[in-house]
Amino acid sequence: MGDLNRPLRVLQIVPSVSLVYGGPSQMIRGFSKALAGAGAEVTLATTDSNGDVDEPPLDVPLNQPVPESGYTTWYFRCSPFRRYKFSLGLLRWLSRHAQDYDIAHIHALFSPLSSTAATVARWQGLPYLLRPLGTLDPADLRKKYRLKQLYAAVLERPNLAGAAAIHFTSLQEAAISERFNTQTPDLVLPLGVTPLAQSATEPIDVRAKYGIPADCPIVLFMSRVDPKKGLDMLLPALEALQQEGMPFHFLLCGANPQDRAYERSIAQRIADSPLQARATVTGYVDGDLKTAILEAASLFVLPSYYENFGIAVAEAMLAGVPVMISDQVHIWQDIQNSQSGWICECNQASVTETLREALAAEQQQRGQTAIAFAKANYSWPAIAEQAIAAYHRLLA
């Protein structure tokens, strides 16, 4: 490591920081800022990717250091494979500068950029951690199974075997993850959330904007619109409660830049349903509107089939919104033990029953509990201190 009196030099590598990709891209900025605040010298290497098909690249300076909130970002052109957020330029830069860092933290497996970056780090002798983002979950590995087995044999198994540690965000994620017969140590470290910025402009009246009565509970889904998120259970559950006469308005906030067809199919499913009168599909939201929606929500819902952490869940909790999640969102035990929300199983009957219970209950108390728990357990400064201590242990 060299001079122990100088700051630890940490390199973060992630395929994209565009918020259209959801939690993984969102967390990396907060994590890098917190690591820098805890005394590390942090560089973030990424691409200008901003959606795989129909969005222009990020409008950012390329191939040069860009000062951020206490850390530095290097953006590289996403080329030649835009669909896979790949960048030859980033890999060339890493090959030249790997020796400038003490440790690398690489986010995403089964991503060509992350996989090849780990390979370069291994060849250059740069110690690195891998954060799988749920890709080692058996449920996720079943998708494109044969291709992933081949990919793992060629790239990911050697990368896992050569890593200083695998960063899991919950004990449950660590317990169920496939390791491909490697013996790499685990590092279990949750993710943090950044408090929502308060708007300096005129507050947005979400109920007026979407025509929601003042006394009608708002059920909020705010995540990537993806088959794994359990919308195939949630929408029928909402329809059943609508038939029972239970009052609510459903806000679906999210997009899927990698699968616009699925995103459109969900919007059409709602438009063709009686739920249409009680639902609003907003598309992707951020900034002041996102803050206003979270502040207005009565209940946050995410009945995912698998979710290694669920940054959107923690973000809702920090905003004081109680949550209803499935027992396959791997922080469910935190939610259950802290009484910050309700837990369902991954079947339609359980989603319906739990949603009925949550809407009939007093939500304010659980919302206050959610805030306190999120502040105590999903705080970036505390997580950054733990991460730096872990880096030093691994390097020692």
Please, what's the b/e burial string for 57-87 (b: 16 or more CB within 10 A of its CB; e: otherwise)? bbebeeeeeeebeebbbbbbbbeeebeebbb
In this structure, are 95 and 221 located in the same domain?
Answer: no
Q: Give residue 272's domain range.
A: 206-377
CA 62 to CA 103: how far, in whole Å? 23
Does 3 map to a domain? no
- Is this model's pTM higher than 0.75 or not? yes
pLDDT averaged over every residue in the chain: 92
In this structure, are 237 and 94 located in the same domain?
Answer: no
Does 216 map to a domain? yes
pLDDT in tens, 311-339: 899 999 999 999 999 999 989 999 999 99
- CA–CA distances in Å: residue 212 to residues 209, 217, 298, 323: 8, 9, 12, 20
In this structure, are 224 and 153 located in the same domain?
Answer: no
- Total domains, the chain: 2
- CA–CA distances in Å: residue 365 to residues 297, 320, 370: 14, 9, 9
In this structure, are 351 and 389 located in the same domain?
Answer: no
End-to-end CA distance of the chain: 9
pLDDT in tens, 10-54: 999 999 998 777 667 778 999 999 999 999 999 999 999 987 666
In this structure, are 21 and 163 located in the same domain?
Answer: yes
In this structure, are 217 and 180 located in the same domain?
Answer: no
What values do phi and psi take at 105, rounded to 5?
-120, 110
pLDDT at 196 over 80: no
Instruction: Specify the pairing of strand 65-67 against strand 72-76.
Output: antiparallel
Name the residue type at position 81.
Answer: F
In this structure, are 170 and 57 located in the same domain?
Answer: yes
- What is the percent of the chain with per-residue pLDDT over 70, rounded to a whole number? 96
> In a 3-state reduction of DSSP, which class is residue 24?
helix
CA 396 to CA 350: how far, in whole Å? 48
pLDDT at 1 over 50: no
- What is the percent of the chain with per-residue pLDDT over 90, rounded to a whole number? 73
Which of 241-245, 279-283, 308-312, 372-376 has the lowest average pLDDT? Answer: 308-312
Provide the edge-to-edge strand list for the sheet that holds 218-222.
279-283, 249-253, 218-222, 299-302, 323-326, 341-344
Burial (CB count <10 Å: 0-12, 13-18, 19+), residue 261: exposed
In this structure, are 172 and 232 located in the same domain?
Answer: no
CA dihedral for 105, 378, 332, 298, sign (positive or negative)? negative
We report the CATH number of the domain holding residue 86 as: 3.40.50.2000
CA 360 to CA 45: how far, in whole Å? 47
Does 173 map to a domain? yes
